[in-house]
Structure 1
Amino acid sequence: MRALTGKTALVTGASSGIGEAIARKLAAEGVNLVLVARSQDKLKQLADALTQSYAVQCTVLLADLSTQNCGATVHGQVKAMGLTVDILVNNAGYGTYGPFDSIAPENEQAEIAVNIAAVVDFAHAFLPEMLKRGEGTILNVASTAAFQPVPYMAVYAASKAFVLSFSEALWAEYRQQGIHVVALCPSAVDTGFINHLGNESVRKTAAFSTTLQPEQVAAHAMKAIYGKGPTHITGFKNWLIAQSARFAPRSLVARSSADMMRPPVQNGATSH
Protein backbone atom coordinates (compact mmCIF):
# COMPACT_ATOMS: atom_id res chain seq x y z
CA MET A 1 0.00 0.00 0.00
CA ARG A 2 1.39 3.38 -1.03
CA ALA A 3 1.75 5.95 1.75
CA LEU A 4 -0.14 9.14 0.92
CA THR A 5 0.71 11.39 3.85
CA GLY A 6 2.43 14.54 2.67
CA LYS A 7 1.51 14.00 -0.98
CA THR A 8 -0.45 16.59 -2.97
CA ALA A 9 -3.63 15.79 -4.87
CA LEU A 10 -5.44 17.94 -7.40
CA VAL A 11 -9.20 17.33 -7.49
CA THR A 12 -11.42 18.78 -10.21
CA GLY A 13 -15.08 19.40 -9.48
CA ALA A 14 -14.15 19.62 -5.81
CA SER A 15 -16.83 22.06 -4.67
CA SER A 16 -19.56 19.46 -4.11
CA GLY A 17 -20.68 15.87 -4.56
CA ILE A 18 -18.13 13.18 -5.34
CA GLY A 19 -15.26 15.63 -5.70
CA GLU A 20 -15.82 17.15 -2.28
CA ALA A 21 -16.16 13.72 -0.69
CA ILE A 22 -12.91 12.51 -2.29
CA ALA A 23 -11.14 15.66 -1.14
CA ARG A 24 -12.29 15.00 2.43
CA LYS A 25 -11.07 11.40 2.30
CA LEU A 26 -7.69 12.45 0.95
CA ALA A 27 -7.32 15.16 3.59
CA ALA A 28 -8.06 12.59 6.29
CA GLU A 29 -5.08 10.62 4.93
CA GLY A 30 -2.83 13.66 5.33
CA VAL A 31 -2.85 14.64 1.66
CA ASN A 32 -2.44 18.30 0.72
CA LEU A 33 -4.99 19.49 -1.81
CA VAL A 34 -5.40 21.66 -4.87
CA LEU A 35 -9.16 22.17 -5.17
CA VAL A 36 -10.44 23.07 -8.63
CA ALA A 37 -13.97 24.15 -9.59
CA ARG A 38 -15.96 27.21 -10.65
CA SER A 39 -17.43 28.18 -7.25
CA GLN A 40 -14.94 30.19 -5.21
CA ASP A 41 -17.14 30.42 -2.12
CA LYS A 42 -17.72 26.67 -1.90
CA LEU A 43 -14.06 25.87 -2.52
CA LYS A 44 -12.93 28.39 0.10
CA GLN A 45 -15.32 26.95 2.68
CA LEU A 46 -14.11 23.43 1.95
CA ALA A 47 -10.45 24.45 2.04
CA ASP A 48 -10.88 26.19 5.40
CA ALA A 49 -12.72 23.20 6.86
CA LEU A 50 -10.11 20.68 5.71
CA THR A 51 -7.20 22.80 6.90
CA GLN A 52 -8.78 23.17 10.31
CA SER A 53 -9.77 19.51 10.66
CA TYR A 54 -6.69 17.80 9.21
CA ALA A 55 -3.90 20.42 9.21
CA VAL A 56 -3.31 19.95 5.49
CA GLN A 57 -2.45 22.64 2.97
CA CYS A 58 -5.30 23.53 0.61
CA THR A 59 -5.01 25.66 -2.50
CA VAL A 60 -8.10 26.93 -4.33
CA LEU A 61 -8.08 27.40 -8.10
CA LEU A 62 -11.02 28.58 -10.18
CA ALA A 63 -11.40 26.98 -13.61
CA ASP A 64 -14.06 26.34 -16.22
CA LEU A 65 -13.30 22.87 -17.54
CA SER A 66 -15.42 23.38 -20.64
CA THR A 67 -12.79 25.77 -22.00
CA GLN A 68 -10.00 24.69 -24.33
CA ASN A 69 -6.60 23.89 -22.78
CA CYS A 70 -8.02 24.14 -19.25
CA GLY A 71 -5.61 21.50 -17.98
CA ALA A 72 -2.58 23.33 -19.31
CA THR A 73 -3.84 26.56 -17.76
CA VAL A 74 -4.32 24.99 -14.34
CA HIS A 75 -0.95 23.26 -14.60
CA GLY A 76 0.70 26.60 -15.25
CA GLN A 77 -0.92 28.06 -12.14
CA VAL A 78 0.13 25.08 -10.03
CA LYS A 79 3.70 25.27 -11.29
CA ALA A 80 3.86 29.01 -10.61
CA MET A 81 2.95 28.26 -6.99
CA GLY A 82 5.79 25.77 -6.70
CA LEU A 83 3.45 22.84 -6.11
CA THR A 84 3.94 19.26 -7.25
CA VAL A 85 0.86 17.14 -7.98
CA ASP A 86 1.30 13.49 -7.00
CA ILE A 87 -2.35 12.47 -7.43
CA LEU A 88 -4.59 13.80 -10.18
CA VAL A 89 -8.32 13.25 -9.67
CA ASN A 90 -10.30 13.99 -12.83
CA ASN A 91 -13.74 14.12 -11.26
CA ALA A 92 -15.57 17.05 -12.85
CA GLY A 93 -18.44 15.87 -15.02
CA TYR A 94 -21.44 17.17 -16.92
CA GLY A 95 -24.60 15.35 -18.00
CA THR A 96 -27.60 15.77 -20.28
CA TYR A 97 -30.80 13.74 -20.20
CA GLY A 98 -33.64 13.28 -22.66
CA PRO A 99 -34.25 12.31 -26.29
CA PHE A 100 -31.12 13.18 -28.26
CA ASP A 101 -32.93 15.50 -30.69
CA SER A 102 -34.41 17.53 -27.82
CA ILE A 103 -31.11 18.47 -26.20
CA ALA A 104 -29.41 21.73 -27.17
CA PRO A 105 -26.22 21.03 -29.15
CA GLU A 106 -24.26 23.54 -27.07
CA ASN A 107 -25.09 21.57 -23.92
CA GLU A 108 -23.73 18.38 -25.43
CA GLN A 109 -20.64 20.17 -26.71
CA ALA A 110 -19.99 21.34 -23.15
CA GLU A 111 -20.56 17.78 -21.95
CA ILE A 112 -17.94 16.46 -24.36
CA ALA A 113 -15.53 19.24 -23.39
CA VAL A 114 -15.76 18.55 -19.65
CA ASN A 115 -16.09 14.76 -19.71
CA ILE A 116 -13.55 14.01 -22.43
CA ALA A 117 -11.37 16.92 -23.53
CA ALA A 118 -10.61 18.14 -20.01
CA VAL A 119 -9.67 14.63 -18.84
CA VAL A 120 -7.21 14.29 -21.70
CA ASP A 121 -5.88 17.82 -21.23
CA PHE A 122 -5.24 17.41 -17.50
CA ALA A 123 -3.51 14.07 -18.10
CA HIS A 124 -1.29 15.65 -20.76
CA ALA A 125 -0.47 18.51 -18.41
CA PHE A 126 0.45 16.55 -15.28
CA LEU A 127 1.66 13.14 -16.51
CA PRO A 128 5.09 14.25 -17.82
CA GLU A 129 6.24 15.44 -14.39
CA MET A 130 4.98 12.21 -12.81
CA LEU A 131 7.06 10.27 -15.31
CA LYS A 132 10.15 12.32 -14.45
CA ARG A 133 9.67 11.46 -10.76
CA GLY A 134 8.90 7.83 -11.54
CA GLU A 135 5.65 7.85 -9.57
CA GLY A 136 2.15 9.27 -9.64
CA THR A 137 -1.53 8.41 -9.64
CA ILE A 138 -4.32 9.47 -11.99
CA LEU A 139 -7.87 8.67 -10.89
CA ASN A 140 -10.47 9.30 -13.59
CA VAL A 141 -14.09 9.22 -12.45
CA ALA A 142 -16.06 7.29 -15.06
CA SER A 143 -19.37 5.50 -14.43
CA THR A 144 -21.06 2.13 -14.72
CA ALA A 145 -22.75 3.82 -17.70
CA ALA A 146 -19.41 3.29 -19.47
CA PHE A 147 -20.11 -0.40 -19.97
CA GLN A 148 -23.20 -0.13 -22.16
CA PRO A 149 -25.12 2.31 -24.36
CA VAL A 150 -27.56 4.42 -22.35
CA PRO A 151 -30.46 5.77 -24.40
CA TYR A 152 -31.63 9.22 -23.28
CA MET A 153 -28.15 9.80 -21.83
CA ALA A 154 -26.38 8.84 -25.04
CA VAL A 155 -23.58 11.40 -24.98
CA TYR A 156 -22.96 11.03 -21.24
CA ALA A 157 -22.58 7.25 -21.41
CA ALA A 158 -20.41 7.48 -24.51
CA SER A 159 -18.18 10.04 -22.80
CA LYS A 160 -17.74 7.76 -19.80
CA ALA A 161 -16.94 4.85 -22.11
CA PHE A 162 -14.15 7.05 -23.47
CA VAL A 163 -12.87 7.72 -19.94
CA LEU A 164 -12.87 4.00 -19.16
CA SER A 165 -11.02 3.02 -22.34
CA PHE A 166 -8.60 5.94 -22.01
CA SER A 167 -7.78 5.04 -18.41
CA GLU A 168 -7.21 1.37 -19.15
CA ALA A 169 -4.93 2.27 -22.05
CA LEU A 170 -2.81 4.66 -19.97
CA TRP A 171 -2.62 2.09 -17.18
CA ALA A 172 -1.11 -0.41 -19.63
CA GLU A 173 1.27 2.18 -21.11
CA TYR A 174 2.70 3.50 -17.86
CA ARG A 175 2.19 0.92 -15.10
CA GLN A 176 5.81 -0.24 -15.34
CA GLN A 177 7.04 3.36 -15.03
CA GLY A 178 5.56 3.93 -11.58
CA ILE A 179 2.31 5.52 -12.76
CA HIS A 180 -1.01 4.14 -11.54
CA VAL A 181 -3.98 5.08 -13.73
CA VAL A 182 -7.44 3.88 -12.72
CA ALA A 183 -11.04 4.51 -13.76
CA LEU A 184 -13.52 4.72 -10.88
CA CYS A 185 -16.92 3.47 -12.05
CA PRO A 186 -19.75 4.25 -9.62
CA SER A 187 -23.42 3.57 -10.26
CA ALA A 188 -25.99 6.34 -9.74
CA VAL A 189 -24.92 8.72 -6.98
CA ASP A 190 -27.19 10.95 -4.89
CA THR A 191 -25.80 14.35 -5.89
CA GLY A 192 -27.04 17.43 -7.72
CA PHE A 193 -26.41 15.44 -10.91
CA ILE A 194 -29.64 13.48 -10.38
CA ASN A 195 -31.58 16.46 -9.06
CA HIS A 196 -31.31 18.25 -12.41
CA LEU A 197 -32.03 15.32 -14.73
CA GLY A 198 -35.74 16.12 -14.64
CA ASN A 199 -37.55 16.08 -11.33
CA GLU A 200 -38.01 13.78 -8.36
CA SER A 201 -39.92 11.26 -10.51
CA VAL A 202 -36.59 10.34 -12.14
CA ARG A 203 -35.59 8.71 -8.87
CA LYS A 204 -38.48 6.27 -9.29
CA THR A 205 -37.11 4.84 -12.53
CA ALA A 206 -35.25 1.53 -12.38
CA ALA A 207 -31.92 3.16 -13.18
CA PHE A 208 -32.11 5.56 -10.23
CA SER A 209 -34.14 3.53 -7.73
CA THR A 210 -30.98 2.81 -5.73
CA THR A 211 -28.24 5.41 -5.36
CA LEU A 212 -24.91 5.67 -3.60
CA GLN A 213 -23.92 8.53 -1.34
CA PRO A 214 -20.86 10.59 -2.33
CA GLU A 215 -19.07 9.37 0.80
CA GLN A 216 -19.50 5.77 -0.33
CA VAL A 217 -18.01 6.58 -3.72
CA ALA A 218 -15.12 8.40 -2.03
CA ALA A 219 -14.36 5.29 0.01
CA HIS A 220 -14.17 3.33 -3.24
CA ALA A 221 -11.97 6.05 -4.70
CA MET A 222 -9.44 5.47 -1.94
CA LYS A 223 -9.46 1.74 -2.65
CA ALA A 224 -8.88 2.52 -6.32
CA ILE A 225 -5.97 4.83 -5.50
CA TYR A 226 -4.37 2.23 -3.25
CA GLY A 227 -5.10 -0.59 -5.71
CA LYS A 228 -3.22 -1.85 -8.74
CA GLY A 229 -5.84 -2.52 -11.41
CA PRO A 230 -7.05 -0.12 -14.13
CA THR A 231 -10.75 -0.28 -13.23
CA HIS A 232 -12.63 -0.06 -9.95
CA ILE A 233 -16.39 -0.69 -10.00
CA THR A 234 -18.40 0.16 -6.89
CA GLY A 235 -19.74 -3.10 -5.50
CA PHE A 236 -20.07 -6.71 -6.65
CA LYS A 237 -23.60 -6.25 -8.04
CA ASN A 238 -22.45 -3.39 -10.26
CA TRP A 239 -19.40 -5.41 -11.31
CA LEU A 240 -21.63 -8.31 -12.30
CA ILE A 241 -23.97 -6.05 -14.29
CA ALA A 242 -21.01 -4.45 -16.06
CA GLN A 243 -19.61 -7.83 -17.09
CA SER A 244 -23.02 -9.02 -18.25
CA ALA A 245 -23.39 -5.92 -20.42
CA ARG A 246 -20.06 -6.67 -22.06
CA PHE A 247 -21.07 -10.18 -23.15
CA ALA A 248 -24.81 -9.84 -23.84
CA PRO A 249 -26.02 -8.98 -27.37
CA ARG A 250 -25.63 -5.23 -27.84
CA SER A 251 -29.15 -4.79 -29.20
CA LEU A 252 -30.58 -6.45 -26.10
CA VAL A 253 -28.48 -4.28 -23.80
CA ALA A 254 -29.53 -1.10 -25.60
CA ARG A 255 -33.24 -1.99 -25.50
CA SER A 256 -33.10 -2.92 -21.83
CA SER A 257 -31.29 0.29 -21.01
CA ALA A 258 -33.89 2.29 -22.94
CA ASP A 259 -36.67 0.74 -20.87
CA MET A 260 -34.88 1.77 -17.67
CA MET A 261 -34.06 5.29 -18.81
CA ARG A 262 -37.12 6.46 -20.75
CA PRO A 263 -37.82 10.04 -19.56
CA PRO A 264 -40.86 10.56 -17.35
CA VAL A 265 -40.32 14.34 -17.64
CA GLN A 266 -38.65 16.93 -19.83
CA ASN A 267 -34.90 16.75 -20.27
CA GLY A 268 -32.39 18.89 -18.46
CA ALA A 269 -28.68 19.25 -17.92
CA THR A 270 -26.47 19.22 -14.88
CA SER A 271 -22.96 18.76 -13.58
CA HIS A 272 -21.51 16.64 -10.82
Structure 2
Amino acid sequence: MIQSYAIITGASKGIGRAIALELARRGYSLLLIARSATLLEETAALARKAGAAEVRPMALDLTKAESVTAVLQEVQRNNLPVNVLVNNAGYGAWGRFDTLSLEEQDAMMRINMHVPVELTHGLLPLLKSRQPAYILNVASTAAYQAVATLALYAASKAFILQFSRALRIELKKSGVSVTCLSPGPTETNFMSQAGMHHPKMIQRASKFNMTPEAVAKFAVKGMFAGKNEIIPGVTNSVSALLTRFVPKAITEKIAAGLYEV
Protein backbone atom coordinates (compact mmCIF):
# COMPACT_ATOMS: atom_id res chain seq x y z
CA MET A 1 0.00 0.00 0.00
CA ILE A 2 1.28 3.46 -0.96
CA GLN A 3 1.89 5.40 2.26
CA SER A 4 3.09 8.85 1.19
CA TYR A 5 2.55 10.97 -1.91
CA ALA A 6 4.22 14.25 -2.86
CA ILE A 7 2.88 16.74 -5.40
CA ILE A 8 5.53 18.78 -7.19
CA THR A 9 4.79 21.55 -9.68
CA GLY A 10 7.41 22.57 -12.22
CA ALA A 11 8.78 19.04 -12.00
CA SER A 12 10.00 18.69 -15.58
CA LYS A 13 13.47 20.16 -15.04
CA GLY A 14 15.75 22.20 -12.81
CA ILE A 15 15.02 22.47 -9.10
CA GLY A 16 11.63 20.77 -9.45
CA ARG A 17 13.13 17.68 -11.06
CA ALA A 18 15.94 17.58 -8.50
CA ILE A 19 13.46 17.78 -5.61
CA ALA A 20 11.41 14.99 -7.20
CA LEU A 21 14.48 12.75 -7.29
CA GLU A 22 15.39 13.59 -3.70
CA LEU A 23 11.91 12.56 -2.59
CA ALA A 24 12.03 9.46 -4.80
CA ARG A 25 15.19 8.35 -3.00
CA ARG A 26 13.21 8.57 0.22
CA GLY A 27 10.59 6.21 -1.19
CA TYR A 28 7.92 8.80 -1.89
CA SER A 29 5.31 8.34 -4.58
CA LEU A 30 5.06 11.37 -6.84
CA LEU A 31 2.44 13.36 -8.72
CA LEU A 32 4.56 15.40 -11.11
CA ILE A 33 3.10 18.49 -12.77
CA ALA A 34 4.50 20.61 -15.60
CA ARG A 35 3.61 21.69 -19.11
CA SER A 36 5.99 19.49 -21.13
CA ALA A 37 4.79 15.88 -21.29
CA THR A 38 8.11 14.77 -22.79
CA LEU A 39 10.24 16.29 -20.04
CA LEU A 40 7.84 15.03 -17.38
CA GLU A 41 8.23 11.49 -18.68
CA GLU A 42 12.00 11.91 -18.39
CA THR A 43 11.64 13.00 -14.78
CA ALA A 44 9.23 10.14 -14.10
CA ALA A 45 11.68 7.58 -15.50
CA LEU A 46 14.50 8.98 -13.38
CA ALA A 47 12.27 9.00 -10.30
CA ARG A 48 11.33 5.35 -10.76
CA LYS A 49 14.99 4.42 -11.03
CA ALA A 50 15.72 6.48 -7.91
CA GLY A 51 13.22 4.49 -5.86
CA ALA A 52 9.82 6.17 -6.13
CA ALA A 53 7.09 3.71 -5.21
CA GLU A 54 4.70 5.14 -7.80
CA VAL A 55 4.94 8.04 -10.26
CA ARG A 56 2.10 9.89 -12.00
CA PRO A 57 3.20 12.50 -14.57
CA MET A 58 0.48 15.05 -15.28
CA ALA A 59 1.10 17.45 -18.18
CA LEU A 60 -0.79 20.68 -17.54
CA ASP A 61 -0.52 24.31 -18.55
CA LEU A 62 -0.76 25.98 -15.16
CA THR A 63 -1.57 29.34 -16.73
CA LYS A 64 -5.03 27.91 -17.46
CA ALA A 65 -7.58 28.50 -14.72
CA GLU A 66 -8.86 24.93 -14.87
CA SER A 67 -5.44 23.36 -14.26
CA VAL A 68 -5.58 23.46 -10.47
CA THR A 69 -9.05 21.91 -10.51
CA ALA A 70 -7.66 19.08 -12.64
CA VAL A 71 -4.93 18.41 -10.06
CA LEU A 72 -7.39 18.38 -7.17
CA GLN A 73 -9.70 16.04 -9.08
CA GLU A 74 -6.80 13.68 -9.83
CA VAL A 75 -5.96 13.51 -6.13
CA GLN A 76 -9.56 12.95 -5.08
CA ARG A 77 -10.41 10.45 -7.83
CA ASN A 78 -7.44 8.24 -6.98
CA ASN A 79 -7.58 8.83 -3.22
CA LEU A 80 -3.89 9.79 -3.20
CA PRO A 81 -2.42 9.96 0.33
CA VAL A 82 -0.69 13.32 -0.15
CA ASN A 83 1.39 14.66 2.72
CA VAL A 84 3.91 16.80 0.79
CA LEU A 85 3.13 19.74 -1.49
CA VAL A 86 6.00 21.44 -3.33
CA ASN A 87 4.92 24.69 -5.00
CA ASN A 88 7.93 25.04 -7.28
CA ALA A 89 6.57 26.16 -10.66
CA GLY A 90 7.56 29.71 -11.52
CA TYR A 91 9.49 31.89 -13.92
CA GLY A 92 10.66 35.44 -14.50
CA ALA A 93 10.39 38.05 -17.23
CA TRP A 94 13.33 40.45 -17.54
CA GLY A 95 12.94 44.03 -18.72
CA ARG A 96 11.44 47.36 -17.76
CA PHE A 97 7.89 46.94 -16.50
CA ASP A 98 6.44 49.21 -19.18
CA THR A 99 8.18 47.36 -22.02
CA LEU A 100 6.87 43.91 -21.10
CA SER A 101 3.39 42.96 -22.25
CA LEU A 102 0.68 42.90 -19.62
CA GLU A 103 -0.43 39.50 -20.93
CA GLU A 104 3.02 38.04 -20.29
CA GLN A 105 3.18 39.51 -16.81
CA ASP A 106 -0.35 38.34 -15.95
CA ALA A 107 0.64 34.77 -16.89
CA MET A 108 3.75 35.02 -14.73
CA MET A 109 1.76 36.29 -11.75
CA ARG A 110 -0.68 33.41 -12.11
CA ILE A 111 2.08 30.78 -12.10
CA ASN A 112 4.13 32.45 -9.37
CA MET A 113 1.31 33.44 -7.01
CA HIS A 114 -2.18 32.24 -7.86
CA VAL A 115 -1.33 28.59 -8.52
CA PRO A 116 0.51 28.07 -5.19
CA VAL A 117 -2.33 29.76 -3.32
CA GLU A 118 -5.04 27.74 -5.08
CA LEU A 119 -3.24 24.40 -4.70
CA THR A 120 -2.45 25.05 -1.05
CA HIS A 121 -6.03 26.06 -0.28
CA GLY A 122 -7.46 23.05 -2.11
CA LEU A 123 -5.09 20.52 -0.53
CA LEU A 124 -4.95 21.77 3.06
CA PRO A 125 -7.87 19.64 4.31
CA LEU A 126 -6.09 16.53 3.03
CA LEU A 127 -2.71 17.63 4.37
CA LYS A 128 -4.20 18.23 7.82
CA SER A 129 -5.51 14.68 7.82
CA ARG A 130 -2.12 13.24 6.86
CA GLN A 131 0.06 14.47 9.74
CA PRO A 132 2.90 15.11 9.67
CA ALA A 133 2.53 17.00 6.41
CA TYR A 134 4.75 19.50 4.66
CA ILE A 135 4.38 22.45 2.30
CA LEU A 136 7.48 23.71 0.51
CA ASN A 137 7.00 27.03 -1.29
CA VAL A 138 9.78 28.09 -3.63
CA ALA A 139 10.55 31.81 -3.58
CA SER A 140 13.92 33.39 -4.43
CA THR A 141 16.60 35.60 -2.94
CA ALA A 142 14.92 38.25 -5.12
CA ALA A 143 12.12 38.20 -2.52
CA TYR A 144 14.26 40.10 -0.01
CA GLN A 145 14.47 43.40 -1.92
CA ALA A 146 12.96 45.13 -4.93
CA VAL A 147 14.77 44.29 -8.17
CA ALA A 148 14.60 46.71 -11.09
CA THR A 149 14.07 44.97 -14.47
CA LEU A 150 12.67 41.99 -12.56
CA ALA A 151 10.02 44.09 -10.82
CA LEU A 152 7.05 41.74 -10.89
CA TYR A 153 9.14 38.59 -10.51
CA ALA A 154 10.75 39.90 -7.32
CA ALA A 155 7.37 41.15 -6.07
CA SER A 156 5.75 37.77 -6.73
CA LYS A 157 8.49 35.99 -4.78
CA ALA A 158 8.15 38.48 -1.91
CA PHE A 159 4.47 37.52 -1.91
CA ILE A 160 5.37 33.83 -1.61
CA LEU A 161 7.80 34.56 1.23
CA GLN A 162 5.25 36.55 3.24
CA PHE A 163 2.45 34.10 2.45
CA SER A 164 4.62 31.25 3.71
CA ARG A 165 5.55 33.08 6.91
CA ALA A 166 1.93 33.85 7.75
CA LEU A 167 0.65 30.39 6.80
CA ARG A 168 3.28 28.75 8.99
CA ILE A 169 1.97 30.66 12.01
CA GLU A 170 -1.65 29.84 11.20
CA LEU A 171 -0.88 26.12 10.81
CA LYS A 172 1.45 25.87 13.80
CA LYS A 173 -0.83 23.51 15.75
CA SER A 174 -2.23 21.65 12.73
CA GLY A 175 0.59 19.20 12.05
CA VAL A 176 1.32 20.88 8.71
CA SER A 177 4.79 22.45 8.46
CA VAL A 178 5.36 25.31 6.01
CA THR A 179 8.84 26.04 4.66
CA CYS A 180 9.94 28.69 2.19
CA LEU A 181 12.92 27.96 -0.06
CA SER A 182 14.72 31.00 -1.49
CA PRO A 183 17.45 29.91 -3.91
CA GLY A 184 19.85 32.32 -5.55
CA PRO A 185 21.32 31.86 -9.04
CA THR A 186 20.97 28.22 -10.05
CA GLU A 187 22.09 26.25 -13.10
CA THR A 188 18.67 26.12 -14.75
CA ASN A 189 17.11 27.73 -17.81
CA PHE A 190 15.68 30.58 -15.70
CA MET A 191 17.78 33.28 -17.34
CA SER A 192 17.13 32.21 -20.93
CA GLN A 193 13.40 31.81 -20.24
CA ALA A 194 13.34 35.28 -18.67
CA GLY A 195 15.01 36.79 -21.74
CA MET A 196 18.30 37.45 -19.96
CA HIS A 197 20.66 36.62 -22.81
CA HIS A 198 23.31 39.30 -22.38
CA PRO A 199 26.77 37.78 -21.74
CA LYS A 200 27.47 40.20 -18.87
CA MET A 201 24.41 39.06 -16.93
CA ILE A 202 25.15 35.41 -17.57
CA GLN A 203 28.75 35.89 -16.44
CA ARG A 204 27.71 37.66 -13.22
CA ALA A 205 25.21 34.95 -12.33
CA SER A 206 27.63 32.14 -13.10
CA LYS A 207 29.91 33.32 -10.29
CA PHE A 208 27.23 32.39 -7.75
CA ASN A 209 25.46 29.48 -9.48
CA MET A 210 24.51 26.40 -7.49
CA THR A 211 23.39 23.15 -9.07
CA PRO A 212 19.70 22.19 -8.86
CA GLU A 213 20.78 19.01 -7.07
CA ALA A 214 22.57 20.97 -4.33
CA VAL A 215 19.57 23.26 -3.87
CA ALA A 216 17.22 20.26 -3.71
CA LYS A 217 19.28 18.58 -0.99
CA PHE A 218 19.08 21.74 1.14
CA ALA A 219 15.36 22.03 0.39
CA VAL A 220 14.23 18.50 1.20
CA LYS A 221 16.40 18.15 4.29
CA GLY A 222 15.22 21.52 5.61
CA MET A 223 11.57 20.84 4.81
CA PHE A 224 11.52 17.59 6.76
CA ALA A 225 13.40 19.30 9.60
CA GLY A 226 10.56 21.81 9.82
CA LYS A 227 12.67 24.87 8.99
CA ASN A 228 10.93 28.21 8.48
CA GLU A 229 13.11 29.40 5.63
CA ILE A 230 15.93 27.91 3.60
CA ILE A 231 18.47 30.01 1.69
CA PRO A 232 20.98 27.62 0.10
CA GLY A 233 24.60 28.76 -0.11
CA VAL A 234 26.67 31.04 2.10
CA THR A 235 26.71 33.96 -0.36
CA ASN A 236 22.94 33.84 -0.79
CA SER A 237 22.36 33.62 2.97
CA VAL A 238 24.62 36.59 3.64
CA SER A 239 23.02 38.71 0.90
CA ALA A 240 19.54 38.03 2.30
CA LEU A 241 20.72 38.79 5.83
CA LEU A 242 22.21 42.11 4.74
CA THR A 243 18.79 43.31 3.56
CA ARG A 244 17.79 43.48 7.24
CA PHE A 245 20.58 45.85 8.17
CA VAL A 246 21.65 47.73 5.03
CA PRO A 247 19.44 50.62 3.83
CA LYS A 248 17.00 49.54 1.12
CA ALA A 249 18.33 52.14 -1.31
CA ILE A 250 21.71 50.41 -1.24
CA THR A 251 20.49 46.80 -1.52
CA GLU A 252 18.12 47.76 -4.33
CA LYS A 253 20.91 49.53 -6.21
CA ILE A 254 23.12 46.45 -5.87
CA ALA A 255 20.31 44.14 -7.02
CA ALA A 256 19.53 46.34 -10.01
CA GLY A 257 23.21 46.41 -10.95
CA LEU A 258 23.29 42.63 -11.29
CA TYR A 259 20.84 42.80 -14.18
CA GLU A 260 21.96 45.97 -15.95
CA VAL A 261 23.52 45.62 -19.41
TM-score by length of structure 2 reads: 0.93
Show the counterpart of 1:235.
233
Which residue type is aligned with residue 204 of structure 1? Q
Other structure's SS at 1:89 match = strand
**Separation in 1, partners of 2:208, 2:42:** 30
Verify: 1:260 aligned to 2:247, yes or no. Answer: no
Give the secondary-structure state (helix, strand or coil) at the position aligned to 2:65. coil
2:89 maps to 92
What is the CA distance between 1:26 and its match in structure 2? 0.6
Secondary structure of 2:82's aligned partner: coil
Matches for 1:192-203 after TM superposition, within 5 Å: 192-196=189-193, 197-199=195-197, 201=199, 202-203=201-202
Find out whether 1:128 has 2:158 as its counterpart: no
Query: How far has the Cα of 1:208 moved from its partner?
Result: 4.8
Structure with greater contact order relative to length (CA < 8 Å, sep ≥ 6) = 1
1:111 maps to 2:108:
yes
Partner of 1:225: 223
- For 1:204, the equivalent position in structure 2 comes to 203
Which of 22, 26, 30 is the equivalent residue of 1:25?
22
Q: How far, CA to CA, are the matches of 1:233 and 1:176 in structure 2?
A: 25
Q: Closer, same or farther in 2 for the Cα pair 1:152/1:227, shift >3 Å?
A: same
CA distance in structure 2 between the partners assigned to 1:208 and 1:100 by the alignment: 25
Moved more, 47-56 or 87-96: 47-56
1:244 deviation in Å? 0.9
Distance in 1 (alpha carbons) for counterparts of 2:72 and 2:80: 10
How far did 1:69 drift? 5.1
Tell me the distance in 1 between the aligned counterparts of 2:234 and 2:207: 17
Give the Cα–Cα distance (whole angstroms) in 1 for the partners of residues 112 and 52 of structure 2: 32
**RMSD over aligned Cα atoms:** 1.7
Give, in whole Å, the separation in 1 of the partners of 2:12 and 2:96. 29
**What SS does the aligned partner of 2:135 have?**
strand
The Cα offsets for residues 71-99 of structure 1, whole Å up to 9 and x where unpaired, read as 33311112112212110000000210012
Matched with 1:270 is none
Alpha-carbon distance in 2 for matches of 1:62, 1:23: 15
SS of the residue 1:97 aligns to: coil
Contact 1:70 1:122 in 2 (8 A): no
> TM-score, normalised on structure 1?
0.89
- Report whether the alignment pairs 1:185 with 2:182: yes
Q: Letter of the aligned partner of 2:79 in structure 1? A: G
Equivalent of 1:140 in 126, 133, 137: 137
Letter in 2 for 1:28: R
2:86 counterpart SS class: strand
Conserved in 2, the CA contact under 8 Å of 1:148 and 1:246? no
Partners of 2:8 and 2:88 within 8 A in 1: yes
Alignment of 1:151-162 (within 5 A): 151-162=148-159
Supply the distance in 2 between the matched residues of 1:191 and 1:134 (Cα, whole angstroms): 33
Using the TM superposition, give the Cα deviation of residue 55 of structure 1 relative to its aligned residue in structure 2, in angstroms: 5.0
For residues 108 and 187 of structure 1, the distance between their equivalents in structure 2, rounded to whole angstroms, comes to 21
Residues 123-154 of structure 1: per-residue CA shift (max 9 Å, x gap):
00111111234431000111111101111101
Q: Are residues 1:245 and 2:222 paired?
A: no
Higher deviation after alignment, 196-205 or 212-221: 196-205
| Identity %, equivalent residues | 36
Q: Secondary structure at the match of 1:188?
A: coil
Q: 8 Å contact 1:70–1:121 — kept in the other structure?
A: no
| Of 78-87 and 51-60, the range deviating more from structure 2 | 51-60
Gaps of 5+ in 1: 265-272
In structure 1, which of residues 48, 65, 68 is the aligned counterpart of residue 65 of structure 2? Answer: 68
- Matched residue pairs, number? 258
Question: Given that residues 21 and 46 in structure 2 are in contact (C-alpha distance below 8 angstroms), is that contact kept between their aligned partners in structure 1?
Answer: no
After TM superposition, give the deviation of residue 255 of structure 1 in Å. Answer: 1.8
Q: Which moved more, 1:181-190 or 1:220-229?
A: 220-229
